[in-house]
Amino acid sequence: MIFVIATNNKGKLAEFEAIMGREGYRVCSMAEAGIENSAPEENGSSYAENALIKAKACNPSGEYAVIADDSGLEVDVLKGAPGMYSARYGGAGLDDGGRRRKLLAEIGDTPMEERTARFVCAICCILPGGKTIQVEGRCEGHIAFEEKGENGFGYDPLFILQETGLTFGEMSEPEKAVYSHRARAIQALIARLKEENIK
């Protein structure tokens, strides 16, 4: 079975390739599966609904399965923002760096003990024939006072993982893959695929 990763985010794609690849699964990008343009409106009311919307929109032909991910960073002092709107936080004009600067500005000098946050990842997998598997993963941490580390993407240089005390930006890809929200969701998916005897 080949799994098409229905994302336009290169950072996510690299993580799926690395984590699922290490587990022996074959994955490819939408472009490699001949799908040029799939970016549906993400108008669901939960991460899970948005993941389903993205997986359905990808709709590859033949023997491919599809995996879509909807994820976000929830900051408690911002009442859960940016959350489901993490990719669009601050409007269309901002890049990842601009969104990180906006987040730091919004949180201001809130003390470390109140800078609690979590990453959430919902994955939707649609198998050939239509069977749908939905799983979720989360990881807890704090928002740093400034960016640390160059690795990863998105909010990684700002998210201090509880278990290591390092930002995802300071951790290597295999280290992030031990603890991250996406890694936990992928492990849950793999457990379900094994139950179904799908390789």
Q: Do 144 and 88 touch, CB atoms closer than 8 A?
A: no
Angle in degrees, 0-180, between the axes of helices 10-22 and 181-195, rounded to the nearest 10? 50
Least Å from the CB of residue 25 to ligand ITT:
18
Tokens of 52: 């389903």
The residues assigned a catalytic role are: 70
Least Å from the CB of residue 158 to ligand ITT:
9
Tokens of 126: 């649609």
Q: Is 182 in the site for ligand ITT (CB under 6 A)?
A: yes
Closer to ligand ITT at the Cβ: 47 or 199?
47
Least Å from the CB of residue 191 to ligand ITT:
20
75 backbone dihedrals φ, ψ, rounded to 5°: -110, 120
Q: Of the candidates 2, 9, 17, 77, which one interacts with ligand ITT according to CB under 6 A?
A: 9
Q: Do 19 and 177 touch, CB atoms closer than 8 A?
A: yes
Binding footprint of ligand ITT on the chain (CB under 6 A): 7-9, 12, 42, 54, 69-73, 86-87, 119, 152-156, 168, 180, 182
